[in-house]
Amino acid sequence: MILTIDVGNTNITCGVFEGDEIVASFRITTKMPRTSDEYGMILGNLLEQNEIKPSDIKDAIICSVVPNVMHSLQGGLIKYFHITPIVVEAGIKTGIRIVTTNPQQIGADRIADAVGAYEIYGGPVLVIDFGTATTYDFIDEKGAFLGGITAPGIRISAKALWEDAAKLPEIEIKKPANILGKDTITSMQSGLVFGQIGQTEYIINKVKEEVGLSNIKTVVTGGLGRIIANETSAIDVYDPNLTLKGIYLVYKKQNRKV
């Protein structure tokens, strides 16, 4: 079994692959500082809760956008699992050619999303990840990463509302029954969700216009992606495990003996 780890700004998402199938997945909060012992124990306990023996994990790969957790996380894997994980970083074999001004500035999570979207769904493809930030990345039919868009995530926008406007409360992010809110909470939900739908549809259309293609497949991932994907015909596929699948596909390209 292979352990794939996606370290995001909000959560660390882990997936266990047996063959090409995900047999378990779980999340850990990112923002709490932890030692290597804590990471080792937490990962071991969560695996056992999913009826997986830690000794069944034969290798691991990490994709991270949070550098300051890497030392402890890697240390936990080395100490408790006796594994030195692969890290998705500049120079690693991915099968995606990054055609941007500075390829090293592209986040590891975006590379994993690009690999997953292109290899599973084909190109040209626009992959949208509704995470802490909302990212849109275009990969052409030959597997070239041509560029992307970065926007505030839905939770960032929501947090800005209730932290910077004194009378606005913290709310659940969900689609209200109507676009015209009847009270403060539903008006905020409307602005957040319908605003994100509008942004998504506009950016998809503008990308298609700029690259001169109408047959671009749109693939969405990320925790809040389901809300948006269910509300617009501009999105073709919602794949909640796309990033983990992409990380695993990158792992397979390394041809590491386990």
Residues 66 and 131 in one domain: no
Residues 165 and 228 in one domain: yes
Residues 234 and 110 in one domain: yes
If 0-12 CB within 10 Å is exposed, 13-18 middle and 19+ buried, where does residue 142 land?
exposed
pLDDT digit string (tens) for 22-53?
Answer: 999 999 999 888 999 999 999 999 999 999 99
pLDDT digit string (tens) for 110-128?
Answer: 999 999 999 999 999 999 9
Residues 113 and 227 in one domain: yes
pLDDT of residue 105: 86
pLDDT category at 54 given cuts 50, 70, 90 is: very high
**pLDDT at residue 91 greater than cutoff 90:** no
Residues 226 and 117 in one domain: yes
pLDDT of residue 110: 95
State mean pLDDT over 197-216: 96
| Closest among 135, 117, 155 to 10, alpha carbons compared | 155
State mean pLDDT over 219-239: 93
CA quadruple 66, 43, 243, 97: dihedral sign:
positive
Answer yes or no: 183 catalytic.
no
**Inter-residue long-range contacts of 44-47, CB under 8 Å, 24+ positions, other chains counted:** 44/80, 44/81, 46/14, 47/16
**pLDDT at residue 164 greater than cutoff 80:** yes
Residues 220 and 197 in one domain: yes
In a domain, 256, yes or no: no
Number of domains comprising the chain? 2
Q: State the average pLDDT for the chain.
A: 94
Residues 76 and 41 in one domain: yes
State mean pLDDT over 157-169: 89
**pLDDT at residue 258 greater than cutoff 80:** no
- Active site residue: 6, 59, 109, 239, which one? 109
- Which CATH number belongs to the domain containing residue 216 in this structure? 3.30.420.40
In a domain, 254, yes or no: no
Domain that holds residue 59: 2-87
